[in-house]
Amino acid sequence: MTQQLAVFFPGQGSQAVGMLDALAETHPSVRQTFEEASDALGQDLWRLVSQGPKEALDRTENTQPAMLAAGVAVWRVWRQAGGRPVTLMAGHSLGEYAALVAAGAMGFADGVRLAADRARFMQEAVPAGEGAMAAVLGLTDAQVVALCEDQAQGAVLAAVNFNSPGQVVIAGEAAAVARAIEAAKAAGAKRALPLPVSVPSHCALMRPAAERLAERLADVALTLPGVPVIHNVSVTAADSIETLRDRLVQQLHQPVRWVETVEFVAAQGLDTAIECGPGKVLAGLCKRIADTMTTLPVFDPKTLEAALEKTAHA
């Protein structure tokens, strides 16, 4: 029986100055992909990614189009190198946009511009310093959800990224997040620490951004993807263009259900996934979620060769 593959695309947080430099040296399509992205945005995205400064790359409005371009660039390299076709796709948060581009649901230039606008809407929805996010390690999902309910005290506070068993990210108003960090420590969390982000993603504070994104999506040409893309908010693939748009809008202010997404992929009988993008964050998470699955990161010539070899004869 032919092995079936999934592909996962990482989101914001996996970026780094110099990412994909080594892959670009051996595969010109990486630079070409970033040139397309630069043309779409009117800025030199490759220079930012390869030279920094880090502070500029880490700004949400730059990170999101850069990560989309990175994910699509690696996907193109995978296909050009003879990588096997995949059965399912998914992306973590912003990575879902790279999955949709890779699956043919939207054009690459449209996706890059949409990612940049999405980031701007998010940044403008909450003034700097008013929102925050934090990672809570070592508590159950239910404990973190209950803790957020207890510590909200009328403010916005929610568990927003269910990344792996024992790793949940929370987001909301800054004071509420600070209370939750202390409460998590008191409840026995191994770690509870603020994240260096300027936007409290995936919580109710993003509703104004979601409304603007809905208007923006109305102008984007979409088709149903050629390969099913499992959405963060529903853990299902969209069966209509209207549903696809709606899930992208909901994603801004609802949790990323990554644990359930990986469990769903594993339940379809898939035991191997490729992580297309810089780093290996998702490979680490997936190992803790489904021990029946192997996720192979692809971000440089060495990891590309290893992934091609491990999937060639399955």
The token pair at 49 is 């990614």
How many of the other CB atoms lie within 10 Å of CB of 251? 24
CB-based contacts of 71: which residues, under 8 Å, 6+ apart?
A: 9, 10, 91, 95, 98, 99, 102, 276, 277
Radius of gyration of the chain (CA): 19
Give per-residue burial for 163-199: e unless 16+ CB within 10 Å, then b. Answer: bbeebbbbbbbbebbebbbebbeebebeebeebebbb
CB-based contacts of 245: which residues, under 8 Å, 6+ apart?
A: 214, 217, 218, 222
Active site residues: 93, 202
Residue 5 near residue 266, CB atoms below 8 Å: no
Look-up of token digits 């060639």? 312
Residue 257 near residue 232, CB atoms below 8 Å: yes
Query: Burial, 142: exposed, middle or buried (Cβ in 10 Å; 0-12, 13-18, 19+)?
Result: exposed
